[in-house]
Amino acid sequence: MKLRKGKERSQGPLFISGPVILIVLGLVLYPLLMLFLFSLGINLHDPNITGAYYLQALSDIKTMVALKNTLYVAGGVTAVAILLGGGLAWLVARTDIPHKRLIEIIVFLTFTIPSYILAVAWIQLLGRNGFINRLLYEKWQFIAEPLDIYSLEGIILVMALHSFPLVFMALVSALKMNDKTLEMAARLAGASRMKALFTVTLPLMLPNILSVGLLVFQQTMACFGVAAVIGLPTSNYVLTTRIYSAMSRLDLPSAASTSMILLLCSGVVFCLYNYSLRSKRYININSQSRKAEPVSLGSWKMPMFIGVFLLLSVTTIIPLGSVVATSFLKSWGLSLRFENMTINNYLTIFGGQTIAFRAFFNSITFAFIAATVTAIIGTIISYLSTRTTIKGRKYLEFVATWPLTVPGTVLAVAAVLAWINAPLRIYGTPWILLITYIVACLPFGVRNINGLLQGMDPLLEDAARVSGASWLRTFKDITLPLITPGIKAGWITAFLLVLREIPISILLYSAGAETIGVLLYSMRSDTGGLETVSAVAVILIVLIVAGNVLIGKFGKPRKEATNDPS
């Protein structure tokens, strides 16, 4: 593709870039800047407060423990997710294990369950009075001590089960794209199947494994919900929950400095991840290479499949079943008999004046507005960055995608610091929630559309101009229809993100503006309402599955989108 540098070229109305730049800088950069300044002890509104909050935080043994715990959990989750997801990916991509599609669907389903709901489901199963402990410990006395979900290992278990689908999906596609002739060459050179796997396939996959591992590591560090519901009852703090508890004590200095520490860790890992994405392509991906003969599992075929199925039952089907069953129960604790079932839990969400109804209504409203605003800003930013020559367009794109590296908890703290003082005081109103959601969603809007715009030949637009279409007409007739899949995918991603978002919601909501996240978070207190909340969770999962199916439909490389005549 030729790069256009002609500065005289008419680029359409650039006046729109002004407000967009202002919005992006105001919403993304300003809060993070406030966070940074505040953490240094520089307070614009109360210059008396100065001090080394960092020294305070770093000398606080609790912060150091939380940091250590964060790294331990993230490392553990990454290791387990890679083993589980990688092994499964190899089975599906390279062996003749039966029902591959079924396995892929179940793993995908696991991916769609919000981690927080997964955690609650596991508490229902592994809590002291949980189903598994009752069976293994009390009934069969299979184990000497009841299993304890309320531990760092419990967090690792749930987060790993939540994250392994990511590894699985990344490695399946990498294994499928990997040039199979390389493995064949190794076999011809005399290597056994296992030898070929360990000397050729695995080393070639290493960059991919590293990449997705870093992504899982970063996401685990940023995760709040699971760590809160499992860690907080027994005071097992990680950085996100430590920030949260500082916020609930209204200890802003500690929250700010801990946020900066988390932001730094997360940012470093994310940079490594981005770097690994860029540098990993040392293998020639040869799309024409022949399909390798799948490794025959022989008589292990069925036992292997049953094993995988049992594993997936534990990771997905049982927790999901537990949530679905609870959502139909008249009251949590009742046994699963038909006379105990009801659909009232669902009816109250859609009909009543309950908090569940309100939360649902609020979240959908927020999600709708945030997704729409994100889609519009994302389109404009992507267009500016790929189709114009205005100065600083790449910086604009960078700032807009930056929130990807910022954990929700940190975004919330930054929002509080930015929007708490007059004249910009919107803290305590629904606006602060909306604005912070938009910031959190912005990267997805930009990334989805940017990808399509970059892949789209600018000559298509030139052809329209030469045919007599004005800039606006060209945008409407050519550009917009071709990036619509990206806009839709970005919109849906943003919509779903807001629906299941927890830390921003619980740190920034005000009375009357409760969201699904707030509602879900109240799920950990086992005092009633669990049935209704489970019903919310089920609806949420259905929406997420539907949304992802739609994205899959849009995200598919459309055949007509590749206009390569050769």
Options 101-109, 444-452, 464-472, 520-528: segment touching another protein (CB under 8 A): 464-472
Nearest approach in angstroms of CB 460 to another protein is 5
SS3 197: helix
Q: In angstroms, rounded to a whole number, what is the distance separating the alpha carbons of residues 397 and 465? A: 26
Options 49-57, 108-116, 455-463, 518-526: segment touching another protein (CB under 8 A): 455-463
SS3 509: coil
Cis amide leading into 13 (omega within 30): no
Contact in structure between 450 and 385 (CB atoms under 8 Å): yes
**Other CB atoms within 10 Å distance of the CB of residue 59:** 10
| Among 61, 194, 466, 511, interactor with another protein by CB under 8 A | 466
First to last CA, the chain: 16
Please report whether residue 96 would count as binding another protein according to CB under 8 A. Answer: no
Nearest approach in angstroms of CB 3 to another protein is 8
> Smaller CB distance to another protein: residue 222 or 452?
452
| Among 234, 235, 279, 467, interactor with another protein by CB under 8 A | 467
> Smaller CB distance to another protein: residue 485 or 503?
485
Please report whether residue 7 would count as binding another protein according to CB under 8 A. Answer: yes
Footprint (CB under 8 A) of another protein, residues 515-534: none
Please report whether residue 4 would count as binding another protein according to CB under 8 A. Answer: yes
Nearest approach in angstroms of CB 453 to another protein is 14
Options 1-9, 49-57, 236-244, 310-318: segment touching another protein (CB under 8 A): 1-9
In the shown chain, the binding pattern of residues 477 to 496 toward another protein, with x for contact by CB under 8 A and - for none, equals xx--xx--------------
Q: In angstroms, rounded to a whole number, what is the distance separating the alpha carbons of residues 427 and 509? A: 9
Please report whether residue 128 would count as binding another protein according to CB under 8 A. Answer: no
Please report whether residue 425 would count as binding another protein according to CB under 8 A. Answer: no
| Among 96, 465, 539, 550, interactor with another protein by CB under 8 A | 465
Which residues, listed in sequence order, are joined to residue 364 by a DSSP beta bridge?
A: none
Transcribe 55-113 into DSSP letters.
Answer: HHHHH-HHHHHHHHHHHHHHHHHHHHHHHHHHHHHHHHHHB--S-HHHHHHHHHHHHHS
CA-nearest of 90, 88, 91 to 80 is 88
Task: Show contacts of 468-475: CB within 8 Å, 24+ apart.
Answer: 471/10, 471/11, 471/12, 471/13, 472/12, 472/13, 475/12
Q: In angstroms, rounded to a whole number, what is the distance separating the alpha carbons of residues 305 and 97? A: 6
> Smaller CB distance to another protein: residue 330 or 558?
558
Please report whether residue 512 would count as binding another protein according to CB under 8 A. Answer: no
CA dihedral 16, 424, 414, 54 (to 10 degrees): 130
> Smaller CB distance to another protein: residue 340 or 389?
389
Please report whether residue 46 would count as binding another protein according to CB under 8 A. Answer: no
Nearest approach in angstroms of CB 8 to another protein is 3
> Smaller CB distance to another protein: residue 145 or 560?
560
Please report whether residue 562 would count as binding another protein according to CB under 8 A. Answer: yes
Binding site for another protein (CB under 8 A): 2, 4-10, 457, 459-460, 462-470, 473, 477-478, 481-482, 558-566
